[in-house]
Amino acid sequence: MIHDTRVLFAGTPDFARASLEALLDAGIRPIAVLTQPDRPAGRGKRLAASPVKTCALGAGIRVLQPESLKDDEVVAELRALEPDIMIVAAYGLILPQSVLDIPPRGCLNVHASLLPAWRGAAPIQASILSGDEQTGISLMAMTAGLDCGPVYVTEAIGIGADETAGELHDRLAELGGRLLTRHLAGILDGSLDAVPQDEALASYAGKIRTADAKLNFDKPAAELARQVRAYNPVPGAWFMLDGERVKCWRAEVLDEPGGDAGRVLDAPGVVVACGAGSLSLKRLQRPGKRPVSAAEFARAVEPAGKRLA
C-alpha cells in the first residue's frame, strides 16, 4: 500500500511546499523532511524558516536541516530512517551517491521543465527568456549527474504571452504536486518505467545573478520584454537612470522603430528605444519606493529625452 510507504521528503521553497502539501492531502505522510537551514530574510535579515519547514512543522513532521549531505553522521542519520523512497523538489543541496543509494526505490525529483530541456537551477526563468511556448513538470529518477536521470513522466502547460516567472512558478508548483501524487503508486510498484533522456537535446539553466537582470537596450524590445517577465519577482529587471537603479516589473513591446537605443522617447508614459523596436515600461520602482505606473513615474522624474543605462 502506498500509504504504508516510508517517504523521506527534501525541499525548501514554495515550489517544494506545493508537492509536500499534495502528499499530505493524498494521505501520504513523510517520515521526515529535509530542508535547508534557516536563512536571513527581509529587511531585518532575521532568520526565517523555509516554506517547507513551516508546512512540515504544522503537520507535526520531523524536520532535518543539515548544512551538507556529505557529512558521514548526516548520511548515517538518513540511513537510520530506513526510507523506501526519497522525494526531492527544489531542495537546493547536492545529493551525493551515498544518499542516493539509501532508499531501495531510489530518489524521485519533481523538476520544473520538460527534460532534457532546462536542466539546472532556474528552469522557469530560462523557459521564458528563450521564448518557449510551453514548459511543464518532469518526474525524474535521480542520478549523480545534474538533472540527467531517466524520466518517468512529463506533463506540459502553455506559457502565457504576458506571464511572469512568478505566475508560471505557481502553476508549475501546483502541477508538480498533482503529477507526483497521480503517478507515485506506479513508480513504487514498478508499473511505470523511466525513459533515458536524449543528451543531444539537453539545455541548461544556471543560477540567476542580479547582473543577469540588467536591461541592455541595444537588444531587441521583444527580448527585453521576456527578460522583464523572467525576472519578476526575483531579482527584478533593472536599469540605471540619474544614478538610481530602477526596477521594471511590467513592459510591453511596441512595433514602431525606436531610433537611438536606450533613449526615452517623447511619448506618453515611459517608452524606450531599443536595438529593434521600442519598449513601453508599464510598472517601475525607484529604490526605497513602491512600484508605480509609468505615468506616475514620468511625473516624478521626467525621463523623456534621457538615456537609460
* pLDDT confidence of residue 1: 61
* pLDDT confidence of residue 257: 74
pLDDT confidence bin for 265, thresholds 50/70/90: very high
Residue identified by cell 501524487 is 181
Q: What is the mean pLDDT of the chain?
A: 96
CA-derived radius of gyration, the chain: 22
Under DSSP, is residue 119 helix (H, G, I), strand (E, B) or coil?
strand
State pLDDT tens for residues 154-170.
Answer: 999 999 999 999 999 99
What's the whole-number mean pLDDT along residues 76-80?
Answer: 98
Q: Which cell numbers hold the place of 15?
A: 515550489
Q: Tell me the β-bridge partners of 263.
A: 307
Name the nearest CA neighbour of 15 among 107, 125, 148: 125
Q: For the chain, what percentages of helix, strand and coil (3-state, to nearest 5) are there?
A: 30, 25, 45
For every residue of 183-232, DSSP letters joined together read HHHHHHHT-S--B---GGG--EEPPP-GGGGB--TTSBHHHHHHHHHHTT
Name the nearest CA neighbour of 63 among 92, 36, 101, 98: 36
State pLDDT tens for residues 83-125.
Answer: 999 999 999 999 999 999 999 999 999 999 999 999 999 999 9
* Percentage of the chain modeled with pLDDT above 70: 99
Alpha helices, DSSP H only, in the chain?
A: 14-25, 51-58, 72-80, 97-100, 123-129, 165-189, 221-230, 294-301
Q: Do 159 and 229 touch, CB atoms closer than 8 A?
A: no
* pLDDT confidence of residue 43: 74
* pLDDT confidence of residue 258: 67
What's the whole-number mean pLDDT along residues 266-291?
Answer: 94
State how far the Cα of 279 lies from the Cα of 34, in Å rounded to an integer.
Answer: 44
Domains and CATH numbers, the chain: 2-205 (3.40.50.170), 210-301 (3.10.25.10)
* pLDDT confidence of residue 266: 83
Q: Which cell numbers hold the place of 14?
A: 514554495
Q: Do 305 and 263 touch, CB atoms closer than 8 A?
A: yes
Using alpha carbons, list the distances in angstroms from residue 104 to 98, 99, 121, 185, 195: 12, 11, 27, 15, 19
On the question of pLDDT at 190 being above 80, the answer is yes
Q: Euclidean distance between the first and final Cα of the chain, in Å? A: 60
Using alpha carbons, list the distances in angstroms from residue 11 to 2, 83, 108, 194, 254: 21, 16, 12, 22, 41
State how far the Cα of 251 lies from the Cα of 5, in Å rounded to an integer.
Answer: 48
pLDDT confidence bin for 256, thresholds 50/70/90: confident
Name the nearest CA neighbour of 34 among 84, 113, 80, 88: 88
